[in-house]
Amino acid sequence: MKEAINGIITLFREEKNAKIHAFCTIAVIWSGNLLNFSSVDWLWISLAIAGVWTSELFNSALERIVDLASPEVNPLAKKAKDFAAGAVLVMAIWAIAVFFLVAIPNLWIILNFGKI
Catalytic residues, by residue number, are 56
Select from 51, 62, 81, 87 the one that contacts ligand ATP (CB under 6 A): 81
Helix (H) or strand (E) holding 82: helix 75-113
Query: Cα(70)–Cα(66) distance, rounded to whole angstroms?
Result: 6
Subset of residues 6 to 65 that bind ligand ATP, contact rule: CB under 6 A: 15, 17, 59, 63
- The residue (of 8 and 43) whose beta carbon lies closer to ligand ATP is 8
| Shortest distance in whole angstroms from residue 94 CB to ligand ATP | 17
One-letter amino acid of 71: P
